Amino acid sequence: MPATRMLRLAVMAIGLFASGSYAAAQEAPRNPLAPSGERGSPDASEGTEREAPETETEPREEEARSPFEDPVETDRDAFTPSTKTTPVNRWILESSYSFIDNRGAPDTNSFPETLLRYGLNRYLELRLGWNNEVGGGGNVVSGNSGEAAEGVDTSSLTREQRLLYGIKASLTKQESWLPDSILIVTGVTPTGGDATATQLRTDFAFGWRLPNRWRLDSALAFTTDSDNGNRFEVWAPSSVLRMPLTERFQIHSEFFGQFSQDRAGNFNRIFFSPGMHYLVTPNLELGLRVGWGLNEQTARFFSNVGFGWRF
């Protein structure tokens, strides 16, 4: 009997052990990397989803752009014209007054040197202007005046009025060493005074914006002219270095000259001219230029003050 009892106890122990092993095998395996209390996958329990981390859904605000990054650029600001055309469907009105202290001739007063420019498309603008000059030396310092040689270097006082009309075309845009460049073709017809011949003037200008925001521009102008019925030509090279000090204020330094060809008494004029301009608004510019003649055939001094308004 003791043997029978011991056999029963052994069978019962084996049964309990087997049932415990079977129940353990039915449980899902525990993830050793999961935190305490989690089983299987990283989710803590059935029907519960882990919250996704918050992400930025609102776009960052763009940095404010200064309105002075695209200001008006006038042709009257220097003897060298700007290498930009008027924006499409917009107007630029320019006007200035020049005083020239001539050598051996009455001083010249030139006003209003008006020029109206209209942007026809991205590459072309139309131009129309008018000017009145009183003096003995003509206006040799402003590209917007339509200067003529009749009456130049005379001791008598002369009066001239001229109508300007033409186009300005953008040729290239700056890319690496390729410069910005433009071509201006202008007709100048007398509307009053002793001059009777219509002039043709062409200006080719090119330049680069430098890494320090300075700008170097050069130009070559060619003009047909006449003096007492004798026709001749005038070549006018120029270079200007423009240096912005603030987004509104800019100074410049310029050399320019005028050299006649096939005239009975040829002239060679060379000027040095510093200047500055101030942007009241991105569309309104005020400017001042002064200059000195560097040889005996050149006026002693000149000054030019004016404005440009884009609308």
Residues in the chain: 311
Quick: pLDDT tens for 190-218.
999 877 889 999 999 999 999 999 999 99
Q: Report the pLDDT value the prediction gives residue 28, as an integer from 0 to 100.
A: 44
Token pair of 6, please? 């011991």
The beta strand positions in the chain, using DSSP E, are 91-101, 108-119, 124-135, 158-172, 180-193, 199-209, 215-227, 230-244, 249-261, 268-281, 284-293, 301-310
Tokens standing for 56? Answer: 């930025």
Tokens of 274: 């510093």
CA distances (Å), origin 142, targets 24, 112, 148, 259: 102, 11, 12, 15
* Sign of the Cα pseudo-torsion (171, 72, 113, 276, in order): negative
Express each pLDDT in 36-74 by its tens digit: 444 444 444 444 445 545 554 555 545 678 889 899 999
Produce one character per residue of 116-155: b if its CB has 16 or more CB atoms within 10 Å, e if not. bbebeeeeebebebbbbbbbbbbbbbbbbbbbbbbbbbbe
Q: In this structure, are residues 209 and 240 in contact, taking their beta carbons and an 8 Å threshold?
A: no
Compute the average pLDDT of residues 263-291: 96
DSSP summary character for residue 67: G
The pLDDT tens digits for 134-173 are 998 778 898 777 665 554 556 678 889 999 999 999 999 9
In 3-state terms, what secondary structure has residue 79? coil
Q: What are phi and psi of 239, to 5 degrees?
A: -145, 140
